[in-house]
Structure 1
Amino acid sequence: MLRPILRGAAVTAVTVTLAALTVSCGGGGDDGGHRPKAAAAALAAAASDPSGPPVPSDASGPGPVAPSPQPERVRDAFAALQATLGDSCTPANCAYLLGRVHDELHRVDRAMKADPKGPGHFPEPIALIARLDQELGADHGVENLKRHQPSVFGARDEINTWMQDHPDDYR
């Protein structure tokens, strides 16, 4: 009886450790090194959830099955985008802020496209992000983002205004 409990605790400990390493070493992934701390905390919390999938009692079993990732909710992605509204592009943090706004815009885009209401429910924000992407081209580097700074912040601000007119989509 004690062996399955200990084995489950060991699996949880290894999972939490791997999640922490993934978060700490993941600076070069899709998020451009701008992963919010809340995402890291959510990952660690999910890994340490004791109500997760059961662990087999014998070592010959296949192990726990990871749940399929759920698309991010529009309200969560929009909240992260809104968190950039109070920041200013000072010389000390302009590169970070531009990269973060760019990343948050694309989180909103992915969330809207994956929303059960369908991408047709969010035509203006999706079009704004597509227009920004067309303007930026394939270069998402800091210098190009700085050249297009008014467009980056403009897309963010226009999406914020659009979402304020659609409170059911973010509350």
Structure 2
Amino acid sequence: MENLDFLLRAMREDPKGVDHFAAPVKWIKETQGKVPDQSSGEIIKHEAEIVQTLKRVNDWMQHHPEDYR
């Protein structure tokens, strides 16, 4: 979840604006909404979905190499 938080913060702060990252921001927010309690038990319960979201964002970024840092 910390990685998702970091990615979302970086997208919000990017000079291109958050709208440029509309799809990844949506995926991150959806996942964050499903895990409002970030206790270790809840994170473990949603681990597969969290990892899948990280992979989706990574795939998106790889298809946008000008944004990949």
* Structure number, greater radius of gyration: 1
Percent identity over the alignment? 33
Corresponding residue pairs, total = 69
State the alpha-carbon separation in 2 of the partners of residues 104 and 153 from structure 1.
Answer: 10
1:143 matched residue in structure 2: 41
Cα displacement (A) at 1:154? 0.6
TM-score by length of 2: 0.94
The gaps in structure 1 that reach 5 residues or longer are 1-101
The ranges of structure 1 where at least 4 consecutive aligned residues each deviate by more than 2 angstroms after the TM superposition are none
Distance 1:109 1:130 in 2: 8
User: Relative to total residues, which structure has the larger helix share, 1 or 2?
Assistant: 2
Q: TM-score, normalised by structure 1?
A: 0.39
Instruction: List alignment gaps of at least 5 residues for structure 2.
Output: none
Q: Aligned Cα RMSD in Å?
A: 0.9
| Equivalent in the alignment of 1:165 | 63
**Higher-RCO chain (CA-CA 8 Å, sequence separation at least 6):** 2
Measure the CA separation in 2 of the matches of 1:119 and 1:107. Answer: 14
Aligned pair partner of 2:16 in 108, 113, 117: 117
